[in-house]
């Protein structure tokens, strides 16, 4: 692969437990600059949880997170954003009752010299970024509740790329979309990658993954089964990793790999 050697994210031996259940158990995962790593696994395998630790929604009980070579202290979503980590959540995490611009800038509002909200400036920037993602989008005055699934998705994506993210986490970004919009998101991912943005992609769609990702990492029962460059494994082998936890020869096994 044409990866540059620079690692932007290293998660080392991360664990988290909810009331005795180890949702993520001793998982390690890394991400290089400009790389797309797909994280796969069944429902409940711990993908979303692992990724939420990186985005600051959950606090890990053990392990280290290293961002651009330095140990990072991520205790809440604000910390993660300070490291240039932006997240598109599976639930989109939009405030339904306010408009698109308010959602894009939620927690990072632009303000006037008097410290009041600069709604006009925020709307102007929102129009600019939404124009790039979804040129037909015009409903800036309406609460996002009134938008279609695809429009809501583009609001969530716009929020993530608005603040010059270095590291992007996309949790099922196409779950709510039709085929045409899914293809659009695919194009966007390629474009972001070209701009040097590193992406964690969580997806169920193995076709998508093989088209977009450089590397796959598979989790099962909270543990890392292993990871492999997409051209070193077949789709069937990856399915084997997901379903059985069986690590093929082309992959680097993790602690969750089936021992035979």
Partner 1 sequence: MTNEKTAEVAQKSEEGAFNRFIRATEIDTRLLGMIGALLLIWLAFHFFSDGRFLTPRNLWNLSVQTASVAVMATGMVLVIVTRNIDLSVGSILGFVAMIMGVTQISVLPGMLGSDSQFIWVIALLVGIVLGGMIGGLHGFVIAYLGVPAFIVTLGGLLIWRGAAWWVTSGQTVAPMNNTFRLMGGGPYGSIGEFWSWVIGIVACVVIALLAINGRRQRQRFNFPLKPMWAELFMVGTSWVVVMGAVAVANAYPWPVGIVKRHIKANNLNVEPSELVIAHGIAIPVLIAIGVGIVMTFITTRTRFGRYVFAMGGNPEAADLAGINSRWVTTKIFILMGMLCGIAGAISTARLNAATNAQGTLDELMVIAAAVIGGTSLGGGVGTIVGAMLGAVVMQSLQSGMVLVGLDAPLQNVVVGLVLVMAVWLDGLYRRRQG
Catalog residues that contact partner 1 under the rule CB under 8 A.
Answer: 55-57, 76-78, 81, 87, 89, 91-98, 102, 106-109, 111, 115-117, 120-121, 123-124, 136, 143, 145
Least spacing, CB of residue 7 vs partner 1, in Å: 25
Nearer to partner 1, 179 or 249 (CB): 179
The CB-of-94 to partner 1 minimum distance in angstroms stands at 6
| 3-class secondary structure, 26 | strand
- Residue 134 vs 223, nearer CB to partner 1: 134
- For residue 82, how many other CB atoms are within 10 A of its CB? 12
- Spatial separation of the C-alpha atoms in residues 32 and 30, rounded to whole Å: 7
Q: Is 53 left (phi over 0), alpha (psi -120 to 50) or beta?
A: alpha
Which is nearer to partner 1, 98 or 258 (by Cβ)? 98
Least distance between partner 1 and beta carbon 76 (Å): 7
C-beta closer to partner 1: residue 35 or 171: 171
- Residue 124 or 243 having the CB closest to partner 1: 124
Question: Which among 37, 6, 11, 82 has a CA at the least distance from the CA of 189?
Answer: 37
> Smallest distance, Å, CB 115 to partner 1?
8
The distance between the two most distant Cα atoms of the chain, rounded to a whole number of Å, is 67
CB of 67 to partner 1, least distance (A): 17
Residues contacting 177, CB < 8 A, separation 6+? 149, 150, 153, 185
- Whole-number minimum distance, CB 107 to partner 1, in Å? 4
Count other C-beta atoms under 10 Å from residue 140's C-beta.
Answer: 13
Q: Which of 154, 142, 139 is nearest to 96 (CA)?
A: 142
184 versus 227: smaller Cβ distance to partner 1: 184
């Amino acid at each position: 692969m044409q990866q540059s050697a620079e690692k932007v994210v290293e998660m080392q031996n991360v664990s988290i437990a909810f009331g005795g259940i180890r949702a993520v158990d001793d998982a390690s995962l890394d991400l290089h600059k400009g790389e797309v790593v797909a994280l796969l696994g069944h429902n409940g395998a711990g993908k979303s949880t692992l990724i939420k630790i990186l985005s600051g929604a959950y606090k890990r009980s053990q392990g280290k997170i290293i961002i651009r070579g330095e140990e990072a202290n991520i205790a809440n979503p604000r910390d993660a954003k300070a490291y240039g980590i932006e997240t598109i959540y599976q639930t989109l995490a939009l405030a339904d009752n306010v408009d698109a611009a308010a959602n894009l800038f939620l927690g990072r509002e632009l303000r006037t010299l008097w410290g009041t909200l600069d709604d006009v400036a925020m709307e102007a920037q929102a129009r600019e970024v939404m124009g790039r993602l979804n040129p037909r989008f015009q409903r800036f005055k309406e609460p996002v509740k009134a938008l279609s699934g695809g429009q809501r998705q583009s609001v969530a994506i716009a929020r993530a790329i608005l603040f010059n993210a270095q590291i992007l986490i996309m949790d099922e970004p196409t779950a709510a979309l039709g085929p045409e919009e899914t293809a659009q998101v695919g194009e966007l991912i390629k474009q972001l990658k070209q701009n040097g943005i590193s992406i964690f992609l969580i997806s169920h769609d193995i076709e998508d993954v093989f088209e977009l990702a450089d590397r796959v990492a598979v989790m099962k029962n909270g543990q890392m089964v292993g990871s492999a460059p997409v051209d070193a494994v077949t789709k069937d082998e990856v399915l084997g990793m997901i379903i059985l936890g069986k690590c093929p020869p082309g992959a680097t096994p993790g602690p969750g790999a089936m021992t035979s």
